[in-house]
Amino acid sequence: MVEQIANDYPDRFAPLTMHANGDGFDVPWGQHRLDVFYGVAGATPTFMVDALWNCQSSDYRYYVEQELAQPTDVTLELSGNPVGGAAWDLTARVCLEGGASRPMRIFIAATLDHHPELQSYSTNLLMQKVEETDITVAAAGCENVTSRISFDPVSMANTSNIVIIAWAQMPAASAPTTVYQAGIMRWPFPAGSQLTTIEVSPADVTVAVGEQVEFTAVGKDQSGATVPLESPTWSLGGSGFGAGTFDPGSGSATTTFTATTPGSRQVFCADGGVSGVALVTITETPHLAAIEVDPASVSVDVDGQVGFSATGKDQYGDDFPLVQPVWSVSGAGDGTFAPTSGSATTFTASYPGACTVTCAQGGVAGTAEVVVTGEVPGLATIVLSPAAAQIRVGGTITFTAAGSDQYGRAFPLSDPVWRAEGAGDGTFDPASGSATTFTASAAGPTRVICAEDGIEGTAEVAISAAGLPAPRKAGGRVAP
Protein backbone atom coordinates (compact mmCIF):
# COMPACT_ATOMS: atom_id res chain seq x y z
CA MET A 1 0.00 0.00 0.00
CA VAL A 2 2.71 2.48 0.99
CA GLU A 3 4.73 1.72 -2.11
CA GLN A 4 1.63 2.10 -4.25
CA ILE A 5 0.97 5.55 -2.79
CA ALA A 6 4.61 6.46 -3.47
CA ASN A 7 4.15 5.34 -7.07
CA ASP A 8 0.98 7.39 -7.38
CA TYR A 9 2.65 10.51 -5.98
CA PRO A 10 6.34 10.12 -6.96
CA ASP A 11 7.25 13.80 -6.47
CA ARG A 12 5.00 14.54 -3.49
CA PHE A 13 5.15 11.53 -1.19
CA ALA A 14 8.22 9.67 0.03
CA PRO A 15 7.96 6.97 2.69
CA LEU A 16 11.03 6.66 4.88
CA THR A 17 11.89 3.10 5.86
CA MET A 18 13.95 2.99 9.06
CA HIS A 19 16.07 0.12 10.34
CA ALA A 20 18.14 -0.17 13.47
CA ASN A 21 21.73 -1.18 13.70
CA GLY A 22 21.66 -4.96 13.80
CA ASP A 23 18.07 -5.23 12.53
CA GLY A 24 17.74 -7.36 9.48
CA PHE A 25 16.56 -5.74 6.29
CA ASP A 26 13.46 -7.87 6.48
CA VAL A 27 12.37 -5.87 9.56
CA PRO A 28 10.22 -3.05 8.19
CA TRP A 29 10.61 -0.77 11.26
CA GLY A 30 13.70 -0.79 13.44
CA GLN A 31 12.79 0.17 17.00
CA HIS A 32 16.29 1.32 17.87
CA ARG A 33 16.46 3.59 14.84
CA LEU A 34 13.01 4.90 15.56
CA ASP A 35 13.91 5.71 19.18
CA VAL A 36 17.20 7.35 18.24
CA PHE A 37 15.70 9.44 15.46
CA TYR A 38 12.38 10.46 16.93
CA GLY A 39 13.04 9.96 20.63
CA VAL A 40 9.84 7.98 21.04
CA ALA A 41 9.86 4.79 23.08
CA GLY A 42 7.23 2.10 22.99
CA ALA A 43 5.54 0.00 20.37
CA THR A 44 6.55 0.36 16.77
CA PRO A 45 3.85 2.24 14.86
CA THR A 46 2.48 0.84 11.68
CA PHE A 47 2.54 4.23 9.99
CA MET A 48 3.33 7.88 10.70
CA VAL A 49 2.39 10.78 8.42
CA ASP A 50 2.86 14.42 9.23
CA ALA A 51 1.23 15.04 12.60
CA LEU A 52 -0.51 11.65 12.72
CA TRP A 53 0.77 8.69 14.68
CA ASN A 54 0.08 4.93 14.56
CA CYS A 55 -2.26 5.00 11.57
CA GLN A 56 -3.90 1.77 10.47
CA SER A 57 -2.96 0.37 7.08
CA SER A 58 -6.48 0.80 5.71
CA ASP A 59 -6.20 4.55 6.36
CA TYR A 60 -2.78 5.10 4.72
CA ARG A 61 -4.05 6.63 1.48
CA TYR A 62 -6.71 8.70 3.21
CA TYR A 63 -4.28 10.37 5.58
CA VAL A 64 -1.63 10.89 2.92
CA GLU A 65 -4.08 12.52 0.54
CA GLN A 66 -5.51 14.64 3.37
CA GLU A 67 -2.05 16.01 4.12
CA LEU A 68 -1.20 16.51 0.46
CA ALA A 69 -4.33 18.63 0.14
CA GLN A 70 -3.27 21.02 2.92
CA PRO A 71 -1.95 24.39 1.63
CA THR A 72 1.52 25.53 2.75
CA ASP A 73 3.49 28.76 2.49
CA VAL A 74 6.84 26.94 2.67
CA THR A 75 8.85 25.79 -0.34
CA LEU A 76 11.80 23.38 -0.27
CA GLU A 77 14.20 22.69 -3.12
CA LEU A 78 17.09 20.22 -3.09
CA SER A 79 20.44 20.29 -4.87
CA GLY A 80 23.73 18.47 -4.56
CA ASN A 81 27.33 19.44 -5.22
CA PRO A 82 30.18 16.89 -5.21
CA VAL A 83 32.96 17.40 -2.71
CA GLY A 84 35.14 14.46 -3.69
CA GLY A 85 34.90 10.71 -3.58
CA ALA A 86 31.68 9.62 -1.91
CA ALA A 87 31.17 13.00 -0.20
CA TRP A 88 28.48 15.41 -1.34
CA ASP A 89 27.14 18.68 -0.05
CA LEU A 90 23.36 18.32 -0.05
CA THR A 91 21.52 21.63 0.18
CA ALA A 92 17.89 22.26 1.08
CA ARG A 93 16.78 25.78 0.17
CA VAL A 94 13.81 26.61 2.38
CA CYS A 95 11.72 29.69 1.63
CA LEU A 96 8.76 31.28 3.40
CA GLU A 97 6.41 32.92 0.95
CA GLY A 98 4.83 35.28 3.47
CA GLY A 99 3.62 35.72 7.00
CA ALA A 100 5.85 36.16 10.02
CA SER A 101 9.28 34.64 10.51
CA ARG A 102 9.18 31.02 11.63
CA PRO A 103 11.56 28.59 13.35
CA MET A 104 11.95 25.30 11.54
CA ARG A 105 13.85 22.07 11.94
CA ILE A 106 15.33 20.83 8.66
CA PHE A 107 16.06 17.12 8.15
CA ILE A 108 18.12 15.68 5.30
CA ALA A 109 18.12 11.88 4.89
CA ALA A 110 20.07 9.66 2.50
CA THR A 111 18.03 6.58 1.48
CA LEU A 112 18.31 3.74 -1.01
CA ASP A 113 15.71 1.94 -3.11
CA HIS A 114 16.09 -1.79 -3.88
CA HIS A 115 18.73 -2.62 -1.30
CA PRO A 116 20.65 -5.59 -2.79
CA GLU A 117 20.37 -7.63 0.41
CA LEU A 118 16.60 -7.35 0.61
CA GLN A 119 14.53 -10.18 -0.79
CA SER A 120 11.62 -7.91 -1.58
CA TYR A 121 11.18 -4.39 -2.86
CA SER A 122 12.23 -1.67 -0.42
CA THR A 123 11.37 2.02 -0.80
CA ASN A 124 13.65 4.75 0.59
CA LEU A 125 15.57 2.64 3.08
CA LEU A 126 17.37 4.93 5.53
CA MET A 127 21.09 4.20 5.20
CA GLN A 128 22.62 6.49 7.85
CA LYS A 129 21.90 9.03 10.55
CA VAL A 130 19.51 11.76 9.50
CA GLU A 131 21.13 15.23 9.59
CA GLU A 132 19.08 17.95 11.27
CA THR A 133 19.49 21.71 11.56
CA ASP A 134 17.37 24.33 13.32
CA ILE A 135 16.85 27.59 11.46
CA THR A 136 14.57 30.61 11.51
CA VAL A 137 13.27 31.73 8.14
CA ALA A 138 12.38 35.41 7.84
CA ALA A 139 9.05 36.46 6.40
CA ALA A 140 9.28 36.25 2.59
CA GLY A 141 12.86 35.06 3.05
CA CYS A 142 14.95 32.01 2.29
CA GLU A 143 17.61 29.98 4.09
CA ASN A 144 20.05 27.39 2.74
CA VAL A 145 20.79 24.34 4.87
CA THR A 146 23.71 22.21 3.70
CA SER A 147 24.69 18.84 5.11
CA ARG A 148 27.81 17.00 3.99
CA ILE A 149 27.04 13.31 3.54
CA SER A 150 29.49 10.58 2.64
CA PHE A 151 27.52 7.78 1.01
CA ASP A 152 28.15 4.20 2.16
CA PRO A 153 29.72 1.68 -0.25
CA VAL A 154 26.40 -0.06 -0.94
CA SER A 155 24.80 3.22 -1.99
CA MET A 156 27.79 4.18 -4.13
CA ALA A 157 27.55 0.82 -5.86
CA ASN A 158 23.88 1.51 -6.61
CA THR A 159 23.85 5.25 -7.24
CA SER A 160 20.82 5.09 -9.53
CA ASN A 161 18.74 3.99 -6.52
CA ILE A 162 19.88 6.81 -4.19
CA VAL A 163 17.04 9.04 -3.01
CA ILE A 164 17.53 12.15 -0.85
CA ILE A 165 14.56 13.12 1.29
CA ALA A 166 14.39 16.44 3.16
CA TRP A 167 11.63 18.04 5.14
CA ALA A 168 10.97 21.16 7.16
CA GLN A 169 8.91 20.69 10.27
CA MET A 170 7.91 22.43 13.42
CA PRO A 171 10.71 22.03 15.99
CA ALA A 172 9.72 19.48 18.62
CA ALA A 173 11.41 17.19 21.11
CA SER A 174 9.86 14.16 19.48
CA ALA A 175 7.63 13.10 16.62
CA PRO A 176 5.04 13.37 15.31
CA THR A 177 4.88 17.08 14.56
CA THR A 178 3.65 19.29 11.75
CA VAL A 179 5.64 19.06 8.55
CA TYR A 180 5.57 22.30 6.58
CA GLN A 181 7.12 20.98 3.38
CA ALA A 182 9.22 18.12 2.03
CA GLY A 183 11.47 17.54 -0.96
CA ILE A 184 12.70 14.51 -2.91
CA MET A 185 15.90 14.35 -4.95
CA ARG A 186 16.95 11.33 -7.00
CA TRP A 187 20.28 10.49 -8.57
CA PRO A 188 21.78 12.16 -10.52
CA PHE A 189 21.44 15.21 -8.29
CA PRO A 190 20.63 18.56 -9.84
CA ALA A 191 23.53 20.93 -9.30
CA GLY A 192 22.86 23.55 -6.70
CA SER A 193 23.75 27.17 -6.98
CA GLN A 194 27.54 27.26 -6.91
CA LEU A 195 29.77 30.27 -6.53
CA THR A 196 31.58 30.62 -9.84
CA THR A 197 32.54 34.29 -10.07
CA ILE A 198 33.03 37.25 -7.77
CA GLU A 199 32.50 40.80 -9.00
CA VAL A 200 34.39 43.53 -7.13
CA SER A 201 33.35 47.16 -7.38
CA PRO A 202 34.62 49.69 -8.05
CA ALA A 203 36.56 47.74 -10.67
CA ASP A 204 39.12 50.50 -11.25
CA VAL A 205 39.69 53.34 -8.83
CA THR A 206 42.31 55.97 -8.06
CA VAL A 207 42.94 57.19 -4.51
CA ALA A 208 45.64 59.25 -2.84
CA VAL A 209 47.85 58.08 -0.01
CA GLY A 210 45.88 58.41 3.22
CA GLU A 211 42.51 58.31 1.48
CA GLN A 212 39.98 55.49 1.74
CA VAL A 213 37.74 53.66 -0.70
CA GLU A 214 35.04 51.07 -0.03
CA PHE A 215 35.13 47.86 -2.06
CA THR A 216 32.12 45.56 -2.38
CA ALA A 217 32.15 41.96 -3.63
CA VAL A 218 29.13 40.19 -5.10
CA GLY A 219 29.12 36.43 -5.71
CA LYS A 220 27.51 34.96 -8.81
CA ASP A 221 26.59 31.35 -9.51
CA GLN A 222 26.85 29.43 -12.76
CA SER A 223 23.59 30.98 -13.93
CA GLY A 224 24.58 34.52 -13.07
CA ALA A 225 22.33 34.67 -10.02
CA THR A 226 23.61 36.39 -6.89
CA VAL A 227 24.82 34.06 -4.15
CA PRO A 228 26.02 35.10 -0.70
CA LEU A 229 29.74 34.95 0.07
CA GLU A 230 30.44 32.75 3.07
CA SER A 231 33.97 33.75 4.11
CA PRO A 232 35.45 36.33 1.74
CA THR A 233 39.07 37.38 2.22
CA TRP A 234 40.56 40.64 0.92
CA SER A 235 44.16 41.02 -0.21
CA LEU A 236 46.47 42.88 -2.58
CA GLY A 237 48.09 41.16 -5.54
CA GLY A 238 51.72 40.13 -5.21
CA SER A 239 53.01 42.19 -8.13
CA GLY A 240 53.15 45.93 -8.61
CA PHE A 241 53.79 48.77 -6.23
CA GLY A 242 51.69 50.52 -3.66
CA ALA A 243 50.26 49.32 -0.38
CA GLY A 244 47.25 49.69 1.87
CA THR A 245 45.14 47.98 4.51
CA PHE A 246 41.67 46.38 4.51
CA ASP A 247 39.17 46.76 7.34
CA PRO A 248 37.89 44.14 7.81
CA GLY A 249 40.35 41.90 6.00
CA SER A 250 37.99 38.93 5.96
CA GLY A 251 34.48 37.79 6.78
CA SER A 252 32.65 40.60 5.01
CA ALA A 253 31.71 41.25 1.38
CA THR A 254 32.35 44.95 2.02
CA THR A 255 35.68 46.37 3.17
CA THR A 256 37.33 49.76 3.54
CA PHE A 257 40.73 50.09 1.89
CA THR A 258 43.13 52.71 3.25
CA ALA A 259 45.98 53.62 0.87
CA THR A 260 49.40 53.87 2.53
CA THR A 261 52.04 54.02 -0.25
CA PRO A 262 51.76 55.03 -3.91
CA GLY A 263 51.66 52.58 -6.80
CA SER A 264 49.24 50.34 -8.68
CA ARG A 265 48.01 47.00 -7.31
CA GLN A 266 45.29 44.45 -7.90
CA VAL A 267 42.66 44.03 -5.17
CA PHE A 268 41.47 40.44 -4.69
CA CYS A 269 38.39 39.12 -2.92
CA ALA A 270 38.56 35.32 -2.58
CA ASP A 271 36.03 32.83 -1.24
CA GLY A 272 36.13 29.05 -1.54
CA GLY A 273 38.68 29.00 -4.34
CA VAL A 274 36.86 31.66 -6.38
CA SER A 275 38.25 35.18 -6.58
CA GLY A 276 37.31 38.53 -8.04
CA VAL A 277 39.73 41.33 -8.86
CA ALA A 278 39.77 45.11 -9.08
CA LEU A 279 42.55 47.61 -9.74
CA VAL A 280 43.55 50.39 -7.37
CA THR A 281 45.93 53.16 -8.34
CA ILE A 282 47.42 54.98 -5.37
CA THR A 283 48.77 58.46 -5.96
CA GLU A 284 50.92 60.46 -3.62
CA THR A 285 48.99 63.07 -1.67
CA PRO A 286 50.33 66.59 -2.37
CA HIS A 287 52.66 67.56 0.45
CA LEU A 288 55.28 70.16 1.18
CA ALA A 289 58.41 69.10 -0.69
CA ALA A 290 60.44 72.32 -1.01
CA ILE A 291 60.58 75.93 0.14
CA GLU A 292 61.83 78.71 -2.10
CA VAL A 293 63.30 81.82 -0.36
CA ASP A 294 63.37 85.15 -2.16
CA PRO A 295 65.84 86.77 -2.60
CA ALA A 296 68.07 83.70 -2.91
CA SER A 297 71.24 85.75 -2.32
CA VAL A 298 71.85 89.26 -1.06
CA SER A 299 74.47 91.54 0.51
CA VAL A 300 73.63 93.92 3.35
CA ASP A 301 75.57 96.18 5.70
CA VAL A 302 75.55 95.76 9.45
CA ASP A 303 72.37 97.38 10.81
CA GLY A 304 70.88 97.16 7.32
CA GLN A 305 67.62 95.30 6.59
CA VAL A 306 66.46 92.81 3.97
CA GLY A 307 62.91 91.55 3.41
CA PHE A 308 62.62 87.82 2.74
CA SER A 309 59.59 85.85 1.53
CA ALA A 310 59.11 82.06 1.39
CA THR A 311 56.93 80.00 -0.98
CA GLY A 312 56.10 76.33 -0.39
CA LYS A 313 56.13 73.81 -3.26
CA ASP A 314 54.65 70.29 -3.37
CA GLN A 315 56.25 67.22 -4.99
CA TYR A 316 54.71 68.22 -8.30
CA GLY A 317 56.17 71.74 -8.25
CA ASP A 318 52.88 73.43 -7.44
CA ASP A 319 52.47 76.04 -4.72
CA PHE A 320 51.77 74.54 -1.30
CA PRO A 321 50.63 76.70 1.65
CA LEU A 322 53.09 77.29 4.44
CA VAL A 323 51.85 77.24 8.03
CA GLN A 324 54.06 79.36 10.29
CA PRO A 325 57.49 78.33 9.00
CA VAL A 326 60.42 79.33 11.24
CA TRP A 327 63.32 81.61 10.21
CA SER A 328 66.89 81.11 11.41
CA VAL A 329 70.42 82.18 10.49
CA SER A 330 73.71 80.31 10.66
CA GLY A 331 77.31 81.05 9.74
CA ALA A 332 79.83 83.78 10.51
CA GLY A 333 77.40 86.60 9.87
CA ASP A 334 74.37 87.22 12.03
CA GLY A 335 71.14 89.12 12.37
CA THR A 336 67.63 89.06 13.73
CA PHE A 337 64.19 88.37 12.23
CA ALA A 338 60.92 90.20 12.72
CA PRO A 339 58.73 88.19 12.86
CA THR A 340 60.57 84.95 13.58
CA SER A 341 57.88 82.81 11.86
CA GLY A 342 55.58 83.18 8.88
CA SER A 343 55.98 83.27 5.12
CA ALA A 344 57.55 86.77 5.17
CA THR A 345 60.08 88.43 7.50
CA THR A 346 62.56 91.29 7.79
CA PHE A 347 66.20 90.44 8.49
CA THR A 348 68.27 93.06 10.33
CA ALA A 349 72.00 92.42 9.96
CA SER A 350 73.95 92.67 13.19
CA TYR A 351 77.34 91.06 12.53
CA PRO A 352 79.54 90.92 9.43
CA GLY A 353 80.34 87.72 7.58
CA ALA A 354 78.80 85.17 5.25
CA CYS A 355 75.69 83.46 6.60
CA THR A 356 72.76 81.32 5.52
CA VAL A 357 69.16 82.39 6.12
CA THR A 358 66.86 79.35 6.49
CA CYS A 359 63.08 79.07 6.40
CA ALA A 360 61.92 75.62 7.66
CA GLN A 361 58.65 73.77 8.22
CA GLY A 362 58.20 70.10 9.17
CA GLY A 363 61.63 68.95 8.07
CA VAL A 364 61.52 70.88 4.75
CA ALA A 365 63.78 73.93 4.45
CA GLY A 366 64.64 76.64 1.97
CA THR A 367 67.76 78.84 2.18
CA ALA A 368 69.21 82.12 1.00
CA GLU A 369 72.87 83.14 1.05
CA VAL A 370 73.60 86.47 2.75
CA VAL A 371 76.81 88.45 3.04
CA VAL A 372 76.77 90.98 5.87
CA THR A 373 79.30 93.70 5.21
CA GLY A 374 80.83 96.06 7.78
CA GLU A 375 83.92 96.93 9.79
CA VAL A 376 86.05 93.91 10.51
CA PRO A 377 85.50 92.86 14.13
CA GLY A 378 88.33 93.95 16.43
CA LEU A 379 89.05 94.42 20.10
CA ALA A 380 86.96 97.31 21.39
CA THR A 381 86.66 96.84 25.17
CA ILE A 382 88.23 94.89 28.00
CA VAL A 383 86.27 94.15 31.16
CA LEU A 384 87.97 93.04 34.41
CA SER A 385 86.45 90.83 37.07
CA PRO A 386 86.15 91.74 39.85
CA ALA A 387 85.65 95.39 38.91
CA ALA A 388 86.39 96.54 42.53
CA ALA A 389 88.08 94.96 45.56
CA GLN A 390 89.52 95.66 49.05
CA ILE A 391 92.65 93.96 50.36
CA ARG A 392 95.50 94.58 52.82
CA VAL A 393 99.13 94.85 52.09
CA GLY A 394 100.41 91.33 51.55
CA GLY A 395 96.99 90.09 50.50
CA THR A 396 96.18 88.61 47.06
CA ILE A 397 93.31 88.69 44.59
CA THR A 398 92.81 87.02 41.21
CA PHE A 399 91.66 89.12 38.23
CA THR A 400 90.35 87.92 34.87
CA ALA A 401 90.01 89.93 31.67
CA ALA A 402 87.46 89.44 28.87
CA GLY A 403 87.58 91.21 25.50
CA SER A 404 84.66 92.33 23.31
CA ASP A 405 84.58 93.63 19.77
CA GLN A 406 82.82 96.74 18.49
CA TYR A 407 79.63 94.70 17.96
CA GLY A 408 79.47 93.59 21.57
CA ARG A 409 80.62 90.04 20.88
CA ALA A 410 83.38 88.31 22.79
CA PHE A 411 86.79 88.88 21.22
CA PRO A 412 89.76 86.74 22.23
CA LEU A 413 92.66 88.45 24.01
CA SER A 414 96.02 87.39 22.67
CA ASP A 415 98.45 88.44 25.45
CA PRO A 416 97.25 91.48 27.43
CA VAL A 417 99.65 93.17 29.92
CA TRP A 418 98.78 93.89 33.56
CA ARG A 419 99.91 96.95 35.56
CA ALA A 420 98.91 98.96 38.63
CA GLU A 421 98.58 102.76 38.99
CA GLY A 422 97.87 104.92 42.01
CA ALA A 423 99.04 105.45 45.61
CA GLY A 424 99.00 101.74 46.33
CA ASP A 425 101.00 99.16 44.51
CA GLY A 426 101.49 95.46 44.01
CA THR A 427 102.81 92.74 41.74
CA PHE A 428 101.13 90.51 39.05
CA ASP A 429 101.76 86.83 38.49
CA PRO A 430 101.84 86.35 35.57
CA ALA A 431 102.40 89.86 34.22
CA SER A 432 100.47 89.07 31.00
CA GLY A 433 97.53 86.91 29.94
CA SER A 434 93.79 86.93 30.49
CA ALA A 435 94.08 85.99 34.19
CA THR A 436 96.56 87.01 36.91
CA THR A 437 97.04 87.09 40.69
CA PHE A 438 97.68 90.53 42.20
CA THR A 439 99.66 90.74 45.50
CA ALA A 440 99.34 94.08 47.30
CA SER A 441 102.67 95.62 48.39
CA ALA A 442 101.78 99.22 49.32
CA ALA A 443 98.69 100.76 50.83
CA GLY A 444 96.53 103.26 49.03
CA PRO A 445 93.92 103.48 46.31
CA THR A 446 95.09 101.57 43.27
CA ARG A 447 93.84 101.02 39.74
CA VAL A 448 94.54 97.63 38.21
CA ILE A 449 94.86 97.87 34.41
CA CYS A 450 94.84 95.17 31.70
CA ALA A 451 95.82 96.51 28.25
CA GLU A 452 96.16 95.16 24.69
CA ASP A 453 96.52 97.05 21.42
CA GLY A 454 95.73 100.36 23.14
CA ILE A 455 92.50 99.05 24.71
CA GLU A 456 92.43 99.06 28.50
CA GLY A 457 90.21 97.54 31.13
CA THR A 458 90.37 98.67 34.78
CA ALA A 459 89.42 97.62 38.29
CA GLU A 460 89.52 99.77 41.46
CA VAL A 461 91.37 98.29 44.45
CA ALA A 462 91.52 99.76 47.97
CA ILE A 463 94.73 98.57 49.69
CA SER A 464 94.96 99.08 53.45
CA ALA A 465 98.07 98.78 55.69
CA ALA A 466 99.02 95.42 57.11
CA GLY A 467 98.15 94.38 60.73
CA LEU A 468 95.23 95.11 63.04
CA PRO A 469 93.97 98.67 63.52
CA ALA A 470 95.31 100.56 66.68
CA PRO A 471 93.03 100.28 69.75
CA ARG A 472 91.08 103.40 70.70
CA LYS A 473 91.80 105.03 74.21
CA ALA A 474 88.90 104.50 76.53
CA GLY A 475 87.70 107.43 78.64
CA GLY A 476 86.52 107.26 82.31
CA ARG A 477 87.29 108.01 85.99
CA VAL A 478 90.17 106.55 87.97
CA ALA A 479 88.88 104.82 91.09
CA PRO A 480 90.28 106.23 94.42
In a domain, 473, yes or no: no
The verdict on 62 and 174 lying in the same domain is yes
480 occurs within a structural domain: no
Is 120 in the same domain as 14?
A: yes
pLDDT exceeds 80 at position 450: yes
What's the confidence (pLDDT) of residue 121?
Answer: 62
Instruction: Confirm whether 134 is domain-assigned.
Output: yes
Would you state the pLDDT for residue 348?
97
Which of the four pLDDT bands, split at 50, 70 and 90, describes residue 127?
confident
Q: Which helix (H) or strand (E) holds 35?
A: helix 31-38
> Residue 358's domain is classified under what CATH number?
2.60.40.10
Least confident of 5-9, 162-166, 456-460, 472-476: 472-476
Please give the pLDDT value at position 415.
94
- Please provide the size of the chain in residues: 480
Same structural domain for residues 339 and 397?
A: no
**Contact by Cβ (8 Å): 263, 295:** no
**pLDDT of 22:** 52
Q: When comparing pLDDT for 401 and 128, which is higher? A: 401
Predicted pLDDT of residue 298: 97
For 174, counting Cβ atoms within 10 Å of its Cβ (0-12 exposed, 13-18 middle, 19+ buried), the class is: exposed
Domain identity same for 47 and 129: yes
pLDDT at 69: 86
23-32, 273-282, 287-296, 455-464: least confident range: 23-32
Examine the pLDDT at 269 and tell me if it is beyond 50. Answer: yes
Answer whether residue 21 is part of any domain: yes
Last residue of a domain, one of 225, 254, 283: 283
Most confident of 96-100, 239-243, 367-371: 367-371
pLDDT in tens, 362-403: 999 999 999 999 999 999 999 999 999 999 999 999 999 999
The fraction of the chain above a pLDDT of 70, given in percent, is 86
In terms of phi and psi (left: phi > 0; alpha: psi -120 to 50; beta: otherwise), the region of 31 is alpha
Domain total in the chain = 4
What's residue 463's pLDDT? 96
Q: Do 62 and 154 lie in a common domain?
A: yes
CB-based contact 399:382 (threshold 8 Å): no
pLDDT for 52 equals 57
Q: Please report whether residue 478 resides in a domain.
A: no
Among 283, 299, 319, where does a domain finish? 283
Amino acid at 39: G
Of residues 55 and 359, more confidence is placed in 359
Radius of gyration of the chain (CA): 52
Task: Return d(Cα 55, Cα 280) in angstroms, integer.
Answer: 67
In a domain, 476, yes or no: no
pLDDT confidence of residue 122: 72
Between CA 291 and CA 294 the distance in angstroms is: 10
Whether pLDDT at 24 is above 60: no
Range of the domain at 38: 2-186
Query: Could you tell me the pTM of the whole model?
Result: 0.45
Q: Are both 226 and 365 inside the same structural domain?
A: no
Residue 26 has pLDDT above 50, yes or no: no
What's the distance, Cα to Cα, between the start and end of the chain in Å? Answer: 168
Instruction: Say yes or no: 314 and 395 in one domain.
Output: no
What are residue 155's phi and psi, to 5 degrees? -65, -40
Handedness of CA 389, 393, 395, 396 (dihedral sign): positive
Alpha-carbon gap, residue 178 to 230, rounded angstroms: 31
Q: Smallest Cα–Cα separation from 335: which of 318, 359, 356, 320?
A: 356
- Residues 139, 17, single domain; the answer is yes
User: What is the predicted pLDDT for the residue at 142?
Assistant: 87
For residues 217 and 177, the model is more confident at: 217
- Residue 145 dihedral angles phi and psi, to the nearest 5°: -120, 120
Same domain, 330 and 436: no
Q: Which is nearest to 442 in space by CA: 428, 420, 424? A: 424
471 domain residue, yes or no: no
Let me know whether 317 and 441 are in one domain.
no
Predicted confidence (pLDDT) per residue in 39-62, tens digit: 444 444 445 555 555 555 566 788
Mean pLDDT, the chain, rounded, equals 87
Dihedral angle sign, alpha carbons of residues 341, 344, 350, 351: positive
Domain termination residue (choose one: 355, 373, 391): 373
Q: What is the pLDDT of residue 316?
A: 82
Q: What is the pLDDT of residue 38?
A: 45
pLDDT of residue 200: 97
What does the alpha-carbon distance between residue 464 and residue 480 come to, in Å, rounded to a whole number? 42
| Distances, alpha carbon 270 to alpha carbons 229, 250, 348, 396, 412, in Å | 9, 9, 66, 93, 77
pLDDT for 125 equals 81
Quickly state the pLDDT bin for 33 (edges 50, 70, 90): very low
Mean pLDDT on 103-107 = 94
Residue 1 has pLDDT above 70, yes or no: no
413 and 351 inside one domain: no
User: Are residue 12 and residue 108 in the same domain, yes or no?
Assistant: yes
Please determine, for residue 37, whether its predicted confidence score (pLDDT) is greater than 50.
Answer: no
The C-alpha atoms of residue 377 and residue 360 are separated, in whole angstroms, by 30
Spatial contact of 280 and 268, defined as CB atoms under 8 Å apart: no
Q: Residue 226: its pLDDT value, please?
A: 87
Is the separation of the CB atoms in 271 and 218 below 8 Å? no
- Tell me, yes or no, whether 479 lies in a domain: no
Q: What's the pLDDT score for residue 67?
A: 80
